[in-house]
Amino acid sequence: MEIYDALLNRRSVRAYYDKPVEREKLDMILKAGAYAPSALNNQKRQFIAITDKKVLSALNYAVESAVDEATRERVKSRSSKDEFNFFYNAPVLIVTACDENEIRPTEDCACALENMFLCAYGLGLGSCWINQLSSICEREPIASVLKDLGMKEGYRVYGCAAIGYGDEGKLSRPKTNEIIII
């Protein structure tokens, strides 16, 4: 079962080749996100796929100027490349936003992000959840950059997906979630 392979073998990738993602693949990933469930089927998510290097760099700079030193160091320690960037130098960042007055915006976006990660895996691409923007999306200069990118009024970022051809295949810790079957 292909979907089960993706579910078990997808891993967060934190280093990417400098290679663009094909447009057809990006379209498929975005569609996978859009087809994720949403509470009351409200579908109030916005997916902003950034592929332009200059925009990615501007957003990275905006995040850098808004986060505290501890966050910066923590993210840096997870990056396996010397040339540090909050999005691990991925060629695509999909900002996943939602109307903050929706009934379940966090969950709606989380479902979409996981769909996109699994789709990316199926297409031979790596991916990683990038969380930094979520808590600081209303801070300047980030708010202005997001507005310029088309994020709607009253929306916030609930997570981002870094997507690209992975430069590593590191396995994460074994999964230890508790399972009870009665």
Ligand X SMILES: Cc1cc2nc3c(=O)[nH]c(=O)nc-3n(C[C@H](O)[C@H](O)[C@H](O)COP(=O)(O)O)c2cc1C
Examine residue 106 and tell whether it contacts ligand X (CB under 6 A): no
Burial classification of residue 158, based on how many CB atoms lie within 10 Å of its CB (0-12 exposed, 13-18 middle, 19 or more buried): buried
36-75 binders of ligand X (CB under 6 A): none
Q: Which of 172, 176, 179, 180 binds ligand X (CB under 6 A)?
A: 172
User: In sequence order, what are the residues at sequence separation of 6 or more whose Cβ sits closer than 8 angstroms to the Cβ of residue 154?
Assistant: 99, 100, 101
Q: Which one among 6, 11, 100, 139 touches ligand X, defined by CB under 6 A?
A: 11
Token pair 């579910």 is found at 7
Partnered with residue 163 across adjacent β-strands are 92, 127
Q: Does 128 bind ligand X (CB under 6 A)?
A: yes
| CB 142 within 8 Å of CB 93 | no
* Residue 12 makes contact with ligand X by CB under 6 A: yes
Given candidates 97, 130, 142, 163, which one binds ligand X under the rule CB under 6 A? Answer: 130
Q: Per rule CB under 6 A, is residue 129 in the interface with ligand X?
A: yes
Q: Which residues in this chain contact ligand X in the complex, by CB under 6 A?
A: 11-12, 14, 78, 128-132, 172
